[in-house]
Amino acid sequence: MISTNDFKTGQTIVHEGNIYSVIEFMHVKPGKGGAFVRTKLRNLRTGSVTDYTFNAGTKVERAQIDKNMMQYLYADGDKHIFMNNDSYEQIEIPAQQIEYELKFLTEGMSAEVMFYNNTEILGVSLPDKIVMEVKETVPGVKGDTKTNAMKDAIMQTGLLVKVPMFIEEGEKIIVNTTDGSYVSRDK
């Protein structure tokens, strides 16, 4: 059990039967009445974000979340197969559980799979930046460097990314996985 006074960003808790990750928290001490902690929590099962207010000093249960590095193998209908690199054990994750991450996952890529109590699969945690290949884009216009003009590029997973005009088909670029934005060329 941990106190709401000890919350940290990224901490995982169990509250009202759900597993949450603390996104934001703020200690509030009004002039009248008791202190409280205002939080923004992400439900790790559904992905929804809710605001919740705790009385200061309230005890909540800490959620034990384990992350195992696994390799994404392939899609089988609406199930996606991951393999543990150490034990070669394979698991299936439904597509709706990792809908956002599928935009970035390519076969053979490694990602962290999150487990609650070593049994329940919560989802996939991607690195902050990944390398992707540009499959389709319009040719760049020479000399168009004065303005920071961007064009659409479609990656090998079907993800649409705005890239600078000089990026060509077949190039590898670095993409930010939090918002799907272009970072730089891959060296």
Same domain? For 47 and 91 the reply is: no
pLDDT, residue 11, reads 86
Give percent above pLDDT 90 in the chain: 25
- What separation, in Å, do the N-terminal and C-terminal C-alpha atoms of the chain show? 47
Residue 43's φ and ψ, nearest 5 degrees, are -75, 120
Which residue, 83, 110, 125, sits at the end of a domain?
125
Same domain? For 95 and 147 the reply is: no
Please name which of 63, 67, 56, 66 lies closest in space to residue 1, comparing C-alpha atoms.
Answer: 63
Domain CATH for 83: 2.40.50.140
pLDDT, residue 147, reads 66
Q: Domain tally for the chain? A: 3
Name the token pair of 100: 């956002």
- Residue-wise pLDDT for 95-125, tens only, equals 888 888 888 988 889 999 988 887 888 888 8
Residue 140 above 80 pLDDT?
Answer: no
Cβ contacts of 91-94, under 8 Å, gap ≥ 24:
91/121, 93/121, 93/123, 93/124
Residue 6's φ and ψ, nearest 5 degrees, are -100, 15
Q: Give CA–CA dist 29/42, Å, rounded.
A: 24
- Domain range enclosing 165: 129-185
Residue 86 above 70 pLDDT?
Answer: yes
Domain CATH for 19: 2.30.30.30
Residue 144 above 60 pLDDT?
Answer: no
